[in-house]
Structures are given as structure tokens and as C-alpha cells.
Structure 1
Amino acid sequence: MSELLDAVRAGRVEDVPGLLKPLTARERAAELRELKAWRAEVRDRPWTGWQERRRLRDALLVAGAGCQRGAASAVAWLGASDLRGADGLPTGPLVEVLSHQEPAWLADVARRLAGRASTAQEDYPLVAALVRLAGCAMPVTDALTRGWAEAVSPSGGPSLAETLRADPQARDMVRGLFEVTELPFVIVWRPDPDVAGDWPGVLAALAGEGVLERDPLVAACLARLLRGGRPRDLPFFLKLLRRLELTGEEERARTADWIGMVSDGASTVAALAQEVLSRLAVSGALPVGALADMSGSALFRPEKKLVRAQLVLLGKVLRSDPGAAGVLLPVVAEAFGHADTDVQERALKLVARHLPAVEGEEARAGLASAASLLSPVHRPRAAELFGGAADAEADPYEEILPPVPEPDRLAPVAASLAELVEEVAALSGGRGEPSTYTPGGMAAFERALDGLVRYAHADRAALADALRDTLAGSWWLKDDPAAANETWLVRLAGVERVAAAALDRISVRGLWYAYAHGPRSTCCAHASLGGVAEARLAEVAYLVRTKSLPFLLATPTWSTGAVDPDVLVERLRTYQRLCAAPAPVDFAQALVRVRRGGDPGTVRAAAALGTPEGDRLAAWLVEETPVPGLKGAGEPERGARSGDGYGWLGAGSRAGRLLAGTRQRLVARRDFPPAFRWLGQASAPSGTCSHWSTGMTHWPGVLPEDRETLAAWLLPDVAACAGTGRRGGAWWLPVGAEAGGPAGPALRLGVAYGLAARHPGDRLAAVDALLVLAARGQLDGPQLGRDMALLAISGTVKLNRLADSARTAAATGAYRTVWSVLGATLSDLLADPSRPGLGDLLAVAAECVEHGAVADAVAGAGAVAGATAGAGTGAYPAIPALAAVAARGGSSRVTAQAVRLMTALRQ
């Protein structure tokens, strides 16, 4: 054994550079062969302590790097995951053993290390040292820039300014800050953004000192703002640009950049650009044509503040230069089509004030034509201004709703063993467990589970051989004492547990214990619904080893998870012919999934089987509410404020009374396995749920034909979206809208909460559910509107969020559906016009009416009769307070939008 290998085996990294120094190239190559053999020997070695592992790893890393001849092989050695640790590379010893190489070789290694996105950030110290030795330029990459930012940020030593002044690579690395996809966290995280010595302030100061070049810094900052990026990154560039304090000449030279920011930049970026261009326009440094281009972009933006500021700027310019009216007023007229009627009114007043300065009939005709975009409330004023009729004959209204979703029929089980094994491999590794949903995930899981059962029944030995080869990389197949621990094996997720049972990796005793002592927790909906999937897995895994089933009864027929009753009857008939006994959990899941209310012939066919299961199915199909239904609860108490999160289940909340009103069914507690007995429970879920997984799951597949029960148990998730601002709790609303069973108060209340969720993604899920229910003719719009109003009165939801959801739904063309909801909502809310967000809700309602959503509306003295809603939603009550609010006078948004709604209803 050589001295070098002896030092590596002992972990003496400090001795390695001295032992390598006298070796020739041939001797280094010989040592490298020994080091590679030692590396392979210790790769899978069980370690007793992290200190020993670190010493051996560092010594092997340094020795192997010093013996490499090629730059590529050296970088591959340095980047190997088995030679690296979380504490980074030993930079000092590495630089010492590599310093004998040629500068070109060192530069090549530095460039290659910088290009490794996975390791370059932590390798910055080594790359910087190699660059100094080679005398080459610093290779700037995203990962290396992040590593540099962390290295130079103050951590108790010199200040940031001092560090950057002393860094010869500062200019190159600062340039990299403007090119990275995402700014380093150490730069964007600042406890106090105005503290002295922050990054924007230091960079601006160094530019003033000449350490950094000012013009490239300004150009790079503007280019990055034009390009956009993550919202968390933009404040850094905005603050830096303000700290640079551009001169008037610098601002004028970059007019095109400012206009581009107004057009396509984020709102904060556009606001800064608008501020600069406004200064140039008022001073006369901005040509009228450029102002028109900028205005066309600004007036098209959805931010009302930017649009109003632009109209104010145009008014100032037109007052100082009336001759510009012919160029600027056509741009102002583009605001006639803005969604905000206040903006329309401002634009119309501006056009009216400066119209006399417009020369030419063609220009005036263009302005008059643009007036057709105005809301009906402003058209009479436009008719006075331009002449002609105030209203044009409207086309007949047509409600646009999404196509009624039709469930897809599940594909049959894999036709060959090889195909099945591929499906199992795709779902293994934690990607196919019942608690995780991907598009088509439930169907893939159910098909694979049924396939494992079928092929295990036919030839379990052949199935085991095929699975062993395909899943060879799974941790539970390795000959490791930890992998043999059945405490972990019986908890394997998804189809992997069944595969492990088929491969005899779990004992029959362990499988029986997991099956016999399955989950019974009903502390919350998550535990109850997840317990059903867990019980199915435990049962299937146990029976695969002991009493294999020919196939599963509960495999869905449709993509929603539902089972066709005729298919289930045929499956039971096949079981009878094969003298097979149905598994309790599998049969219970099949019953809960089966579609009810079908052909009476199916009931007779089930009863004709003459088996206990056939009799249960026949009784189940004719029973009106086989799963505990929800009693219709009364309205929530006015003025009772619901709590956040699970607090909505208080005594005064409607959802709480929904769950408290469930009927405890003896059939659920007597005839179902323990995993299903929560269906007969008459109490609400506990408020101490610790589950945070609210992503899309397989839970709807447990109750695909009883969405009301599912909705009642999952209401806490979506209620928390509106109350505490939790994200992702509305995922089940579109699935529930497409599921079977009656759409009653629980699902409707879930939609109401979802429409008021804090995050746009959850609100969009609720909008999808609203439109699907409307398309299926299952939406009680007026009742949903009353629910929304009562939740708002109790302080549970915010009206601005409801308005945003309503606007999104209306924009799809479902104006009549949205009006049927908002008409009832406003009937209760207008009694208190000071409620925040009421103006936004009135604006959406007025927009719906202006698009012709009202089939028959009558405006009377002090009252507006309810309009008949479409798609069987009925009529909402009168709105007696609307006329009173509209007659209050003043310039508040609520009053203006009430006048707009009154005008639209009259017209």
C-alpha cells in the first residue's frame, strides 16, 4: 500500500498535498487506479459516524483530483455526489494539489465547474481561486452568481461595499445579477429595505465612485425591468434604478424603453415608467406621437390607477397644447371600452372638453363610432355630444355555458403481464399512492390494482418474477436489514404494497395485522376518506398472499370513480360461478360507488343471483338514501360571525348544522367494514385536524355518487381558503360538480366559500364548479346568492373576492347565470351600502344586465323587480334598496354603480 493511499484510508486530508507533490504523471495515474478501487469499495459502506465519513470523503476527493490528467475527468471527479457533502468542498487542499497545472487547464476546470448548475453555487470559492491562479475571466453563470452573492454578503466581517471594492471580479459578477433567472435569496431578503448598506444603495454608490461602470449598470437595469421576472425580484431593480438617480438627458435617451415598460411591464414597473414619461411630457420633452403610443398602452392596462393617471396626464397636455387634440383624443376614446365605468366617464368628459379643437369630420366620426363601446349609462351623454340615437338595437342574448362534462369509460386492465408491470413501475416510488392525484391518477391506480389482483390469481410466481426485475431499484427489495422491517413495509404506499406482498417481502402475519387493525380514525375528513383507500390496500395485499381474488369488484367503470350497476351485477355473477367470496372492503367500496336510480331490471337481476351480496346490492339500488344524506339546514343566523378555518363549524354556522343534521344510519354501522362506518356518524369532524395536504386527491373516488356527503366533510378545507387564506382547499369543487348524486346545500356552500377564497387558483376552481353546475341544470342561483350574502353579512367572506369570481364567470359568457346569483346577493346586501367591496359587486351585476342577461326586468318607484334567470335557476326577489342607493347622490363607487345598474335594468 502506498503512502498516499494509506493517508486516504486514514482520512488525513492535510497530508495529501505533500504526498502528491513529488509524484510524476505516471505515478499519479497508478495511484488513481488504486483510488478508484477504494472509492468503489467504500461507496456502499455503512458509516458509523459523520466525522469519519467526512474525513475519508475529503481525503479521497483531494487525492483523486490531484491525480487527474484531463480537465473533464477532474470536474467529473469533483462533481461526483458520493464524494461531496453538505459542507462543501475542501477548497484549500484542492487549490494546493491543482496549482501545478497549466493556466489553460485551470481555466478549463473553472469554466466546467461554473457550468454545473447543480453544484456551481457551492463551488464558487474553488472557482474563484482557480480563476486567480489561471489569470482568466470569471465564467458567469446563474448558479455561480448565487454563490458569489452569498460569499460577498456581510456576515460579521467587512461591509458589502468594502468587499466589492476589493473584489477584482465584482464587475463581471454584478453583470451576472441582471442575467440570472432568479435573484439570490440573500439579495432580495432584507429585514429593512431602507437600511444603509443594502445592495441597491451599495451598487449605486460604487457606480458613483467609478468602481462599477454607470452606463452599463443603467442599461442592464432597464433591460431586466423590460424583460420582467419574478415579482419578488423586481423591487431590487426598481430601487436600484431610483438610487442611480437618472438625469433628464438619460431619461430622454431611453424613451422607447419607458414606453415598453408601460406596455408590458409589471404594475410597479409600469408605474415608474409612467412617472418618468409624465415628467418628460409635461416639460415638453416627449413628442406628441410618443405620448400617443404610450397612452395607447397605458389605457389598455387593467390597473385602474395607471389608467386614471394617464387620463390626468393627457388632460394636462391637452390644456397646454390644444393642437394635439386630433392626435390624442382618438387614443382617449379607446378608454370607452374599459371595464370600469368610472374610467369611461372620465374619458368621455375629457373628449367632450377638447372636442371643439378636433378638425375634420372623419376624426369626429371616429370618436362617435368609439362611443358605441360605452356602457349604457353613458350612452345618452355620448348621444348629446356626437348626435344620433343613444342606443343601438341589441342582438338577442345567448347564454354561453361549458359543455356538460361526460365521464370517460375506464380502459380495460392491461392485456399482458409486461404492460401491467410497466404501469406498476410508473406508479411506484411514491408517485401513485392513493393520497396523491395526478391527471388520470385515480384511473391509473385502479387499473394497476385490479391488474395485480388478476395476474396474481392467474400465476403469482410469474407476476413476482416480472416485478422483481422491473422494481429492482426499490429500497424495499434490497437485502438490507432496514428494508426488512415490516413496520415500514406494511405502510408502503399505493400499488407498491401489493407488489411487495406478491414478492413475499412482507410476511402473512404482518399483512394480516395491517388488514385486521386497519385505520378507524374519523377525526377529520382526510383521515376518514384516506382510511378507505388504506383499508382497500391492506385487504388486497393480504388476499394476494392468502386467498387471491379473481378480480376486484370496486374497480370504477367511469372516470369519476362510479361503478355501473349492470357491470357490478355481472361481476357478482362471475364470482358466483367461480365460487369466490367477495372481500368485505372491496364489496363495500363497490356498493358506495355504484350508480343508483337505474333500470329496475338491474335490481331484479341482482336479486336473482340468490347470494347475500346480490340481495344487498338490490336493496342498495332501490333505497332512496343508502348513504346518510344531509338534511336541509336552515339559513345561517344573521349577524353570527363564523370563525376562521375549522371555526366555521360553530353552532351558528350553516355548515355546522349541515353536519350535525346527518342521520346516523344503522346500516352503515352494522353492515359495513370499520373503514366505512364514519358514513353513519352523526357528528362533525374534529377541529384539531393536523393534515395540510389539500392538493388534488383520490378522495372523490370514495363517494363518486354522493357528492353532498363528500362536500359536507370537505367544507373545512374550502372554508379555510376564505377565512385564513389557506391555499388549495377548493380543489374538490369542480370534481364534486361533475360527480353524481344531488347537488344540495353542502356543495352550494362549498362553492360560496370557494368564490371568496383568497388565492386566485381556488377562486377559479369555484368558478369552474359554478359553470359546470349551471351547464348541468343543477345550480340554484338565487339560493347561492343568498348564501353568499349571509356569509358576507356575518363577516366570513370578502365582497371584492366574490366580485372577482363573478367577473371571471361572467367573462365566459354566462352573464345570465351570474346575474341570477348576484341579483339575490344584492337584495340582502344593499341594506348597508357602506359594506366594503359592494361597488365592485354592483359593477359586475350591471355588466351582466348590460349584456342582456335579464329576460324580464321592471324598474319601479323605489324597487326593481327580479329578473328571470336562465337554465332553470328561477327568479330572485325584488331589490327594494337599489333605487334608494342610486338616489343618494354623491360620487361614491357604490352610488355610481347603483345608478348604472338601475339604468341598465330600465333599458
Structure 2
Amino acid sequence: MSDGFDEAALKARLTAARDGRAVNGLLTAVRAGRVDAVPGLLKELDPGDRKKALAELKALRTEVRGWSWSRWNEQVPIQKALRVAGAGCHTGAAAAAAWIAGRDLADWSRSTSGKVLEVLADRDPAWLGDVAQRLAERPAVAESDYALVRELVTRSGCAVPTTDGYVLGWTTAKDGQRLVEDLRTDPQTPLLVPRILDMIETPARLTWSVSPGTRGHWPTALARLTTEGVLDRASLVDGCVARLLRGGRLRDLRFPLALLQLLDPTPEERRGRMADWIGMAADAPSPVAAYAQEVLAGLAAGGELSTPELAEMSAQVLFRTEKKLVRAQLTLLTKQLRGDPGAAAALLPVVAEAFGHEDTGVQERALKLVGRYLATVDEQVLEELAGAAAVLSPMHRQAAEELFGASEFAEDLPYDETLPPVPEPRRVAGPAATVAELVADLVTVSKGRVEASPEAFERVLDGLVRHAHLHREELTAAVTEAFADAWWAGGQVHGRDPFAQGTYGVDVVTAALMGQVRASRVQAARVRGHAPSACVHKALDAVVDARLWEVAALVSTDRLPFLLAAPTWHTGAIEPSVLVERLRAYRDAGVDPAPVDFAQALLRLRKGDPSAPGAAAEAAALGTRAGERLAQWLTEQAALAPGARFLAREDGTQGRVALVDRFVLKLRERRGVRDEFPPAFRWLGGAETEAAHPCHRWFPHRPHWPGVLPDDRETLAAFLLPVLAAGVDWGERGVTWGLTALAESDGPVGETTHLALAVALGCRHTEDRLTAVDTLLVLAARGDLDPGLLGAALARLVGEGTVKPNRIADAARTAAATGAYGTAWAVLAPLLPALLAAEKPVRGLGELLAVAADCVERFGAAGEIPGLDAVADRRGSSQIVVQAGRLRRALRTGADELAGGADQDATQPVEIDQ
């Protein structure tokens, strides 16, 4: 054109401007969180525009991800819009799936799923299938956004995913009221139901407590669909059996068990799985084992179970502890022997497995069964049975002697109580000798944090102070290199001070060494007072934090050569003579102790150490204020706290009060602690009022609490009581971690320690009760156990219904089984009278009486238990009456033997049918 007008260039500029406005419009909508507008705005963008927009979206996502929680209401709508916009702008299936599945973009309300599908509507089916499969492989997305993944599968026509996440989402989406109809019409049902039986954890929807036959009961629905031909019955039977054989938590096995029972395997299916049923009966949880036992009993009744197979099964079942299973197995063996007496040679040695069962009633049944068919076996089998009878309870000894002959049993040896060896104090390792060794230890402790052992924690603290004093530059360089990628490196986390909320263990010291903790933060933490708290655990954590803040300040200088509070023994204790030498080194170097470090060192002193009197004189002779304080501390004998008591179970205004909220601690007033110790310790100097100390939260420094007061077991026991009570009230697991310190530390043992042990013996979980039993036995071996105190504490806890008797019985049985029958009886003897005198029978009393009787029979005790005669003289054959009579006979036999005239008829031996 003559005027030089370029129409093509103008059109290009206009198009670019229009495209730029379109991209900006999308970004503006996303920044405003207008998710509904995103699909329409995306339609205006071509592939090039979407690529440009994607770069901006990524930058915005990074920005929003770093926002603090204070901008939550602004952040969530933007992230929803980002999820939809990014899904529409990505061209690669892998990138699109990763964007949709981003954890920071997760949409728990699922409000964006429809929008995501809308922006992907024009994509190729193969591409959609690829995205669907990738999303299905991400457990959280496949479950929470199941509807989105399923719709992508449907639109693409790809294979149905069978990942755990997708199956979980599928089961959750099913309507319980229309379960059968939904499953029948869903084409994915035949593919996904067998997959459920392959999963390690059964989907939660299938474990709900729904009654069989109701609409929401999955096993009933699936069994019905097998009759309709929707599901293959044979494959489901195979899947159920395989799942039950793999074992696991009972929660995960209830579904396949219920389904298998409803499918009701045919006789052919039962015969073809003989080894499977035997395996379940041997090792599966009780309900599964009972079902397998029932199946095998049916096969035996029909002559389908051979004698070797029955013997194999019985040897496994009779070894189990469940009385119901063992009794049922003895009944099955009785029926088999009645029909085939010739099988006695193969089956009676198996029956003898029950001679060692903890239930004397089971022992009696097994002994009767052996006696009935003993005449049909040869001498070799007879000798084997007589050998097995040696483990019978003493109450059955006379019956066994009459059956096998007295010559088969060795003379009874004098009873010898077996207790564990007394733990020897173990010296802790010294500080790291080199910077490299210290940094290696520091990395381990920092990564472990709470899991790091107190010994390793103390070793690292002392090592940091020592090497900061001697090799500061080398240490700083090594630590900077090792922790360059630490979470707190850089001094800011999401724009905030990383240590504003606490020390995070030894991390604060490491960061301070690298110069990444503000000096004002350290100073403020060091001088901050700690008001008395109703929760002593918070105060104990504050003590550990105070030490960490002080060390964080020390490593910034080279003032101190080492820490005074570094323990010399594994319990956290320090020998008085060692602390005197440390103070002498301080005096010679012209340095004063750090306040928190010195206070902790005083609390760790072993006052009962043989060196204490001489150390007090040497400390006074140092001529320093620290030496005078040490001398004074060593001459003060009073513990910090007299102990703890607990409130009555019933409160007139509030009703039942949980055990964890009932403990009351009154600290003894110690003016020296209140006036001279740093703020973090002053609460230990006593308070004017009593204060309950409930524990309702997790504390990061919990493993280090015993090291605060390793020489004062009564006070430590009081601090541990609320933790232990949580194992009784709420069934928390792993609450007895502090009992090892009570067993192995120094200091006197009184009512509070025995109360803590009583509570621990009543914890819900077996592993916690085992720790309590270990503690009981170690205290007994050290001569620190007072059975009367422990029995009285148990009597109160059991009598008021706080602690269940069956748990105490289990703990006592465990202790006795180690060979400590005398110790177990000494604890049970003061417990029983209160329970025997109860107006209503105490549930579980029969188990306690059984354990007590077993202890007396083996230990040979004598005496009278108030209330025992009244219970033993009752009519009936309940467990309580039977075991009360057994205990009375054992006590009378013991009394007769002590008098030199034992009545052999007093044991009332079991009558054997021959």
C-alpha cells in the first residue's frame, strides 16, 4: 500500500493484544479465586496461550504455598482455581496428573472435580485414560477424588484401576441402603470385589458393625450376588480362605470370615482345603480359629479327617491360650477316641499338650481323658505321658501319681524363688573425642529428636560445649557443612522465626552454633519465668528447654570448658565426688557455673553414694559459692515431694472422674530451690496449694524427664502417674516407658512408686503390663518392693472399678511364671480380702483366685485369707467358688506341712475315669 500501512502486522498485534487480555483474564480470575469462571476463560486460549498461562500459574502456586495460616480463607479459593486452571493448561498426561494430585491443591470438598472434567472434555480418550491411571496410583487422590477418577475411566474406556486407593474410594461411594442394587448394576463390581480380598487392610466401610442380613451388610450383599451369578462364587471362596490364611488384625479379617461363612463352602471345598483349616486353627485370631476348628470337627464327624491330621491340628490348638478353643479341641478328641480307641497311641501324647495350660480345669479334663484310654497304649507312650505330667499343677499331682505311679515323679525339691539379677549401674560413655565424632553423633540425635536416647542427648550437649571451647572454628565449619539442608537453615521458615515455638530438641543448639538463632530469641528464652503449672509435664519439658537455650547461648562463646550436669551413670545420676572435681576445675579456670547447668547437676546427685559425706566436706573447702551450695545440697536429706494421692472416683457434682484427672501432688517447700534455682526449676521448690496435674497432650522431651530427678524416685513416680493412668482410662499404648527408671534409679521407694506400679499393672495393653511386671520383679530383686503397699493400692483400684481384675491376674500370672511365685502371692494376698468381701461378685475374681492358688501350691504358703471360707463354702461350680476352694485347700496343706503333719487327703485329687 502507498501509505505503508501493514494490515497483516496490525492484525497480528491485535490478536496478540486480545490473547494477552485472555491470559490476564484467566490469571485475574484465579487470583480472585473465581473457580466457576475458569473453564469459560480457558476456552478462549489456544495452546500457545495456555503454555504462557501455565508458567504464571506455577509461579502463583509457589507464592500461595508459602503463605501463612493467617491467609487460609484467601488461600483456599485460589488453590481450587489453580487446580482447575492448571489441569486445563497442561498438555502432557503425566504433568496434568501430577498437577491435579498436588497435595497443596487437594480439594477435600471435591467441589472442583466437575470443573476439572469440564476443562478436560476435549482431550483424546487415550490421554484421559493415561491421566486416570496415574491418578489411581496415588492413594490419597484415588480415594478422596474417586468420582473424578471414575469419570475419567468411563470417558476414556481404559481398564478399570485396581489400586488400593481406587478400591477404597469405590467402596466408600456405595450407598448402604441400596447396596445390592448398586453392586448389581455396577460393571466394575466383578473386577473390584476380588481385589478387596487381596488388600492388606480391609476398607473401612466393610468393617462397620452392621448386622448380617441388613441392607448395608457387605458380606450378605456379595453372597446374594453369587447366587445371582453376578460374582463367581468359587473365586470368592478361594479369596476368603487365602485372606484368612495371610492373617493380620482381627478388624481386617472380620469381612472375609463373615463372607466365607455366608458362602458356606461345600463338603468338597472343605475337604480340598484341609491344610488351610489346620493352619487357621493353629495361628489365626480366635474367631477365625474357631471357625476353622468347627469345619475340621465337621470333617472329623464325617470320617474325612485322618488321625495324623487330627493329631497335627490338636498339637497346635492345645498350645493356644484361649480356653474356649482348647476345651472344644478336647471335646473333639474325646469323640474321636470314643469312636476309635485304637487311635489313643497317636492322640494321647497330643492331649498331654494341655497338661501345661494355665487353666487347671483344662489340665483336669486332659488328665481325665488320658486316664480313660491309658490302658490301650504301650510302655513307650506311657513313659512319654508320665514325663509330660510333670508340668501339671500341684493340685493334680496326687491324681497323676496314682495314674502313672509315684515312682515316675522325682522328689519335690525345696522351693527356690527366682528373681532377675539386680541391674548393675552402667557408666556412660564420655564426650566425643574429635569434632568428626561429635558431628556424627549430632546428626543422629538431631534426626532422631524424641527417639534419641537420653545418654546420646547428654553426650552431644556436653560435646558441643567442650569442642566450642577448644575447636570452635573447626566445629562450626563441620556443623555448617553437615546441616546445610536442615529445615531451619537460613533462619526463616515460611517467613517466621523457626524457634519461635520451641527448641525442637538439640536443633536450637546446632542452629545457634551456625549463627542462625537471633541473640534476642536466646536471651528472652533464658530469662523467661515459668509459672507453676497444673501440668507438671509441661514444667518438666520447660526444664529441658531451659538447658537447651542455655547451651545455645554457651556455644556462641568459649566461656565454659564442659557441662557440670553431664551424667556419669546411665540413669542420669552423677557421683558427688565427680561434681566436686568438676567444680574444682571450674575454680582453677576462673569460671562460674552456668545457672541451669549447675541446678540440673545438683538434682542429679546420688545422695546415697558412699562418697557423698566426704564430697560435702571437699565441696565446702573449695572456697566458692558453688562449692557451698553443693555441700548444703548433699546434707539435705528431704526429697522434693512427699508423693501423690488421688481423689475419690465419684465427685458429687461431676459424676465419674477419670483416673488421669484425679492425681494430686503437693511439692515439699524448699526455700533453697525457690530462691536460688533458675526460673525453670523454681516450681520444684513447692507451692502453697495442691494442684491436680492432668496430662492431655504430647510432650517432645518426655524421654528426658527421668534424667531431671534420677535420685528421687518418689517424685518421678508422681510425675509419671498421669501418663500411666492414660493406659488405664483411655487404653493408650506405650505408657510404661518411664518404669525402667523407677526400677533402676536411686532414692527411696514409698507409696507413690507402689501406686504408680499398681496403675501400670492395670494398663490395657499387654506390652505395657509386661514392662510393669519387669519393674515389679526388679524392685523385688533389689529389696525395694513392699508387697503390702502394692497390694493395698491394687485393692483400692480394683475395688472401685478403675482397674480390671483380669489385667491384674494376667500380670500376676506372668510374674509367677518367671519363677517368682512367692513374690506374686505376697502381692495378691493383701488384695484378695477386699474383693472377697464385695457385695456383688467381682468380675475376674476367679482368675485372680486361680493365680493365687497356683502360687500357693508351688510356693507352699500358709495362713488365712479373710472372706475366703465364705466364698469357698458357697454352692455351685462357678470359677470363683472352685478357685476359692482350691486356694483354701492349698493354704491348709501349706499349714499342715509347716506343722509337720500334712493331710494328704486335703488336696482332693481329680478322679480319673478308667
- Structure 1 and Structure 2 fold alike (TM over 0.5): yes
Alignment of 1:774-785 (within 5 A): 774-785=780-791
* Aligned-pair CA distance for 1:6: 5.5
* Aligned-pair CA distance for 1:267: 0.3
2:506 aligned partner: 495
Question: Which structure is higher in RCO with an 8 Å CA cutoff and minimum separation 6?
Answer: 2
* Aligned-pair CA distance for 1:770: 0.9
Question: Alpha carbons of 1:58 and 1:571: their partners in 2 closer, same or farther (altered >3 Å)?
Answer: farther
Alignment of 1:699-710 (within 5 A): 699-710=705-716
User: How far, CA to CA, are the matches of 1:92 and 1:724 in structure 2?
Assistant: 44
Alignment of 1:228-243 (within 5 A): 228-243=247-262
Task: Give the one of 392, 403, 406 matched to 1:374.
Answer: 392
2:680 aligned partner: 675
* Aligned-pair CA distance for 1:529: 1.9
1:447 paired with 2:459, answer yes
Question: Alpha carbons of 1:44 and 1:409: their partners in 2 closer, same or farther (altered >3 Å)?
Answer: farther
1:534 aligned partner: 545
Question: Alpha carbons of 1:383 and 1:688: their partners in 2 closer, same or farther (altered >3 Å)?
Answer: closer
Alignment of 1:558-577 (within 5 A): 558-577=569-588
Task: Give the one of 645, 665, 669 matched to 1:664.
Answer: 669
C-alpha contact 1:454 1:550 (8 A) present in aligned 2: yes
2:844 aligned partner: 837
SS at match of 1:616: helix
1:691 paired with 2:696, answer yes
C-alpha contact 1:207 1:213 (8 A) present in aligned 2: yes
User: How far, CA to CA, are the matches of 2:490 and 2:432 in structure 1?
Assistant: 27
1:44 aligned partner: 63
2:9 aligned partner: none
CA deviation profile, 1:749-775 (whole Å, cap 9, x unmatched): 211221122332332221121122123
Unpaired runs of at least 5, structure 1: 650-655, 858-863, 866-877
C-alpha contact 2:536 2:693 (8 A) present in aligned 1: no
* Aligned-pair CA distance for 1:354: 4.5
CA deviation profile, 1:587-636 (whole Å, cap 9, x unmatched): 111101122233244333322211010111122223333x4353899999
User: How far, CA to CA, are the matches of 2:379 and 2:469 in structure 1?
Assistant: 87
1:144 aligned partner: 166
User: How far, CA to CA, are the matches of 1:285 and 1:516 in structure 2?
Assistant: 81
Segment drifting more, 207-216 vs 542-551:
542-551
TM-score (norm 2): 0.82
1:153 paired with 2:153, answer no
| Matching residue's letter, 2:778 | V
CA deviation profile, 1:67-113 (whole Å, cap 9, x unmatched): 22xx666655555546655456747746974975584x766655554
Question: Alpha carbons of 1:553 and 1:168: their partners in 2 closer, same or farther (altered >3 Å)?
Answer: same
User: How far, CA to CA, are the matches of 2:581 and 2:42 in structure 1?
Assistant: 77
2:642 aligned partner: 630
C-alpha contact 1:518 1:538 (8 A) present in aligned 2: no
CA deviation profile, 1:187-207 (whole Å, cap 9, x unmatched): 223466663232222111111
User: How far, CA to CA, are the matches of 1:880 and 1:688 in structure 2?
Assistant: 37
Segment drifting more, 114-123 vs 224-233:
114-123
1:314 aligned partner: 333
* Aligned-pair CA distance for 1:745: 2.1
User: How far, CA to CA, are the matches of 1:690 and 1:192 in structure 2?
Assistant: 38
1:645 aligned partner: 659
C-alpha contact 1:99 1:133 (8 A) present in aligned 2: no
Unpaired runs of at least 5, structure 2: 1-15, 31-36, 68-73, 903-914
| Matching residue's letter, 1:712 | A
Task: Give the one of 321, 325, 333 matched to 1:302.
Answer: 321
CA deviation profile, 1:38-69 (whole Å, cap 9, x unmatched): 625642355653222321333123322xx22x
Alignment of 1:705-854 (within 5 A): 705-722=711-728, 725=731, 727-826=733-832, 834-850=841-857, 852-854=858-860
Q: How many percent identity over aligned positions?
A: 47
Question: Alpha carbons of 1:832 and 1:159: their partners in 2 closer, same or farther (altered >3 Å)?
Answer: closer
* Aligned-pair CA distance for 1:645: 1.4
| Matching residue's letter, 1:144 | Y
2:402 aligned partner: 384
Task: Give the one of 571, 576, 588 matched to 2:599.
Answer: 588
SS at match of 2:455: helix
C-alpha contact 2:86 2:96 (8 A) present in aligned 1: no
1:860 aligned partner: none
CA deviation profile, 1:687-725 (whole Å, cap 9, x unmatched): 363533379531111101111121133333334544565
1:612 aligned partner: 625
Question: Alpha carbons of 1:252 and 1:614: their partners in 2 closer, same or farther (altered >3 Å)?
Answer: same
CA deviation profile, 1:255-287 (whole Å, cap 9, x unmatched): 333222211111011112222333343454544
1:652 aligned partner: none
C-alpha contact 2:26 2:42 (8 A) present in aligned 1: no
* Aligned-pair CA distance for 1:134: 5.7
| Matching residue's letter, 1:309 | A
Question: Alpha carbons of 1:280 and 1:572: their partners in 2 closer, same or farther (altered >3 Å)?
Answer: same
SS at match of 2:143: coil
CA deviation profile, 1:835-854 (whole Å, cap 9, x unmatched): 4333322322333345x545
Question: Alpha carbons of 1:811 and 1:32: their partners in 2 closer, same or farther (altered >3 Å)?
Answer: farther
User: How far, CA to CA, are the matches of 2:103 and 2:305 in structure 1?
Assistant: 58
1:14 paired with 2:39, answer yes
| Matching residue's letter, 2:843 | P
CA deviation profile, 1:476-531 (whole Å, cap 9, x unmatched): 55576964459x62633323334454555555444433322321223232133223
C-alpha contact 1:502 1:545 (8 A) present in aligned 2: yes
TM-score (norm 1): 0.83
Segment drifting more, 814-823 vs 801-810:
814-823
C-alpha contact 2:769 2:811 (8 A) present in aligned 1: yes
Segment drifting more, 110-119 vs 763-772:
110-119
C-alpha contact 1:460 1:502 (8 A) present in aligned 2: no
Task: Give the one of 286, 307, 315 matched to 1:267.
Answer: 286
Task: Give the one of 420, 424, 438 matched to 1:406.
Answer: 424
